[in-house]
Amino acid sequence: MNLSLRASLVARPLAALGLGVAAMIGAASAARATDIFSENPVPVFAGPTDNPVEDYFLHWFDRVNEAQATQPHWMTPLATVTPRLEQEIRYDQSLQQLGNGADVINFDGGKGLELIPTTMNEILINAPNYEERYVRSPAQAFGDWNFLTVKQRIVSEPEDKGNYIVSTFLGVQAPMLSSPFTNKAWMITPTLAAGKGFGDFDIQATVGVPVPLSHESTIGTSLATNVAFQYHIAQYFWPEVELNDTYWFDGQRAHLNQLFVTPGIIFGRFKIGQDTPTRPINLIVGVGYQVAVTPPIKLTPALTPTFDHGWLMTARMSF
Going from the N-terminus, what domains does the chain have, and what CATH number goes with each?
3-318 (2.40.160.40)
Q: pLDDT-based confidence at 86, cuts 50/70/90?
A: very high
Distance CA 241, CA 80 (A): 10
pLDDT digits over 64-79, tens only? 999 999 999 999 999 9
Q: Evaluate whether 87 touches 76 at the Cβ level (below 8 Å).
A: no
- pTM for the structure as a whole: 0.84
pLDDT tens, residue by residue, 10-36: 444 444 444 444 444 444 433 333 443
Banded model confidence at residue 106, pLDDT cuts 50, 70, 90 = very high
- Cα 77 to Cα 163: distance, rounded to the nearest angstrom: 17
In tens, the pLDDT along 109-147 reads 999 999 999 999 999 999 999 999 999 999 999 999 999
Higher pLDDT residue, 43 or 240?
A: 240
In which band, very low, low, confident or very high, does the pLDDT at 280 lie, cut at 50, 70 and 90?
Answer: confident
Residue 50 has a pLDDT of 77
CB 169 within 8 A of CB 81: yes
**63-66 — which CB contacts under 8 Å span 24+ positions?**
63/116, 63/117, 63/118, 63/119, 64/116, 64/279, 65/40, 65/41, 65/278, 65/279, 66/119
Give me the pLDDT at residue 237, please. 98
Handedness of CA 297, 181, 262, 198 (dihedral sign): negative
Predicted pLDDT at 41:
52
180-213 pLDDT per residue, tens? 999 999 999 999 999 999 999 999 999 999 999 9
CB atoms within 10 A of CB 217: 11
Is residue 218 predicted with pLDDT exceeding 70?
yes
Please state the rounded mean pLDDT for residues 266-295: 88
**Cα distance between residue 230 and residue 200, in whole Å:** 8
pLDDT at position 281 is 92
Residues 6+ apart with CB under 8 A from 288: 78, 79, 240, 242, 262, 263, 264, 265, 311, 312, 313
